[in-house]
């Protein structure tokens, strides 16, 4: 009997050992990108265990590990997009889908777009506010489904509802020109009229799982206000939102086009300025002094069909585009921290890597653009040291392409291999 127990125990130990061994993978390729130094290191042998990088180019590889040989391909960390809207596609110029589509369908749309984004090599994204007026936080549900492995999707940092003033850029009744009473929203939906409302809206998003908060510091382009850059949330409302979020260690992103609203958001303590279309020298220096990240969404005007827009929206887009490009050029030259953001679907979901080219068109080098897609976003979402590099101890978020992105950035528009946290989602050998 004792012999039988001992034998059974040895079988169990052997089984456990074999399972552990099966979780060790060696990913080998022509080289891997050191994003900090802006260098391609050759060759590449990355040891991965239980979703974590445990060694890079070790002298001796673990016995019995699964080997994934990617031949002449180049490895780099999974890219990150800091400004997405998964529940929306740019199919019409008025975004009427937000009032004609159910929340359930919007969730399915989000899953579809999340998979496209992952397969494009983006393993982490910030979903900065759902557009659909469902009380349910759709983007939080999709983020949780991704985390639990239900769906093929990036790691999603979800904002819940965007926080905007009554009648402002994020008030969907205003955005779509609806008559009074058809869609009147309150703080739970992110639409606020006071400091108390602003705090309530923030707490509601955090209560229901938001991991970042999105505010509308100014008016916008794709809504029906007359102004594009006028400040909307008051200084006091922005301060209340940001202080509340930061108490919970939740970062805050500010949609901001106009200079006054940008400066007000920075003074209030925001973590990122998204769009940042009209920056003056003072605003740029404030961003540097406070380490505020610019998420410029600079490529969308190259990819968006502006003729689909209603005349007022089209006029605002054509007005702000050259100002935004010049602002980005000045910010890059001054040394502002810049993180990639597409405002997808305005750059279509799955085409997110075009933003790298768009940023380089305004003065970034290849290595700067690659840092904007990796280590700077990691810092912005409080995941520095976890993602954004191929380095021992990091999560194994790794992609592969045919060419060296330090020489050909557009190779990232055709990603051939995608691994997120050690799991392979795409392998086009």
Give me the CATH number covering residue 184.
3.20.20.140
Tokens of 56: 């890079």
pLDDT on residue 95: 60
- 205 and 121 housed in the same domain: yes
Identify whether residues 98 and 180 lie together within a single domain. Answer: yes
Q: Which residue from 252, 169, 247 is spatially nearest to 213, judged by alpha carbons?
A: 252
Q: What is the pLDDT of residue 310?
A: 83
Q: Both 138 and 192 in a single domain?
A: yes
Please give the structure tokens belonging to residue 271: 């973590």
Q: In this predicted structure, what is the pLDDT of residue 17?
A: 41
Asked whether residue 263 falls in the same domain as residue 237, the answer is yes
Residues with Cβ within 8 Å of 382's Cβ and at least 6 positions away in sequence, in order, are 249, 251
Predicted TM-score (pTM) of this structure: 0.92
pLDDT at 421: 98
pLDDT at res. 180:
62
292/246 Cα distance (integer angstroms) = 14
In DSSP terms, 71 is beta-bridged to none
Give 18-64 as a DSSP string: HHHHHTEEEEEESEEEETTTTEEESSEEEEEETTEEEEES-SSPPTT
Identify which of 86, 109, 98, 162 has the alpha carbon closest to the alpha carbon of residue 132: 98
305: how many CB neighbours lie within 10 A of its CB? 9
Task: Determine the length of the chain.
Answer: 429
3-state secondary structure of 74: strand
User: Which among 356, 380, 404 is the end of a domain?
Assistant: 380
Same domain, 373 and 395: no
pLDDT, residue 14, reads 43
- Are residues 242 and 204 part of one domain? yes
Domain hosting 412: range is 2-77+389-427
**Tokens describing residue 261:** 């609203």
Domain count, the chain: 2
Residue 241 sits in the same domain as residue 342:
yes
SS3 content of the chain, % helix, strand, coil (to 5): 40, 20, 40
Residue 319 shares a structural domain with residue 173: yes
Residue 70 sits in the same domain as residue 90 = no
- Given a contact cutoff of 8 angstroms between Cβ atoms, the answer to whether 259 and 283 are in contact is yes
- For residues 12 and 216, give the distance between their C-alpha atoms in angstroms, rounded to a whole number: 57
The pLDDT of residue 93: 57
Residue of 161, 232, 171 lying closest to 201 (CA atoms): 161
For residue 70, give both structure tokens: 């990617």
Q: In terms of domains, do 346 and 409 share one?
A: no
Which CATH number belongs to the domain containing residue 31 in this structure?
2.30.40.10
């939102």: which residue's tokens? 241
Q: For 190-213, what is the HEC assignment?
A: CEECCHHHHHHHHHHHHHCCCCCE
- How far, in Å, CA of 177 to CA of 71, rounded? 55
CA angle at 411 for the pair 420 and 297, rounded to the nearest 5°? 75
Looking at the structure, tell me whether residues 24 and 69 fall in a common domain.
yes
Mean pLDDT, contiguous 10-residue spans, the chain (429 residues): 42 42 86 98 98 96 94 98 94 66 92 98 96 90 98 98 90 62 77 97 97 96 84 98 98 98 98 98 98 97 86 89 97 98 96 98 98 98 97 98 98 98 94
Distance CA 384, CA 244 (A): 23
Same structural domain for residues 403 and 326? no
């Amino acid at each position: 009997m004792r012999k039988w127990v001992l034998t059974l125990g040895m079988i169990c130990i052997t089984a456990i050992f074999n399972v552990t061994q099966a979780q060790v993978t060696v990913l080998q390729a022509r080289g891997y990108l050191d994003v900090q130094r802006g260098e391609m290191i050759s060759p590449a042998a990355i040891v991965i265990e239980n979703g974590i990088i445990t060694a890079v180019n070790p002298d001796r590889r673990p016995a019995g590990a699964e080997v994934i040989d990617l031949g002449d391909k180049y490895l780099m960390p999974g890219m990150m997009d800091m400004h997405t809207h998964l529940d929306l596609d740019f199919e019409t110029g008025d975004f009427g889908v937000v009032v004609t589509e159910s929340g359930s369908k919007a969730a399915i749309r989000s899953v579809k777009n999340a998979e496209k984004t992952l397969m494009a090599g983006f393993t982490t994204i910030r979903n900065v506010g759902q557009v659909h007026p469902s009380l349910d936080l759709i983007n939080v549900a999709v983020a949780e489904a991704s985390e639990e492995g239900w769906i093929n999707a990036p790691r999603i940092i979800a904002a819940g509802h965007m926080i905007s003033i009554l009648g402002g850029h994020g008030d969907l009744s205003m955005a779509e020109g609806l008559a009074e009473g058809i869609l009147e929203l309150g703080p739970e939906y992110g639409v606020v009229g006071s400091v108390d409302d602003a705090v309530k809206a923030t707490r509601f998003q955090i209560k229901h799982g938001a991991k970042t908060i999105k505010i509308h510091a100014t008016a916008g382009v794709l809504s029906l206000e007359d102004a594009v850059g006028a400040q909307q949330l008051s200084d006091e409302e922005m301060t209340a939102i940001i202080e509340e979020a930061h108490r919970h260690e939740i970062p805050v992103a500010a949609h901001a086009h106009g200079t006054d609203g940008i400066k007000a958001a920075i003074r209030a303590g925001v973590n990122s300025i998204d769009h940042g279309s009209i920056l003056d020298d003072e605003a740029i220096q404030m961003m540097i002094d406070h380490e505020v990240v610019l998420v410029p969404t600079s490529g969308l005007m190259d990819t968006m069909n502006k003729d689909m827009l209603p005349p007022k929206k089209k006029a605002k887009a054509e007005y702000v585009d050259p100002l935004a490009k010049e602002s980005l050029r000045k910010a890059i030259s001054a040394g502002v921290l810049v993180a990639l953001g597409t405002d997808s679907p305005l750059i279509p979901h799955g085409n997110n890597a075009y933003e790298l080219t768009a940023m380089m068109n305004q003065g970034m080098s290849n290595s700067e653009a690659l840092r904007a897609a990796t280590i700077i976003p990691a810092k912005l979402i409080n995941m520095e040291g976890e993602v954004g590099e191929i380095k021992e101890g990091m999560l194994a978020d790794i992609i592969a392409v045919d060419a060296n992105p330090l020489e050909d950035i557009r190779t990232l528009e055709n990603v051939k291999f995608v691994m997120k946290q050690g799991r392979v989602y795409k392998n086009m050998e």
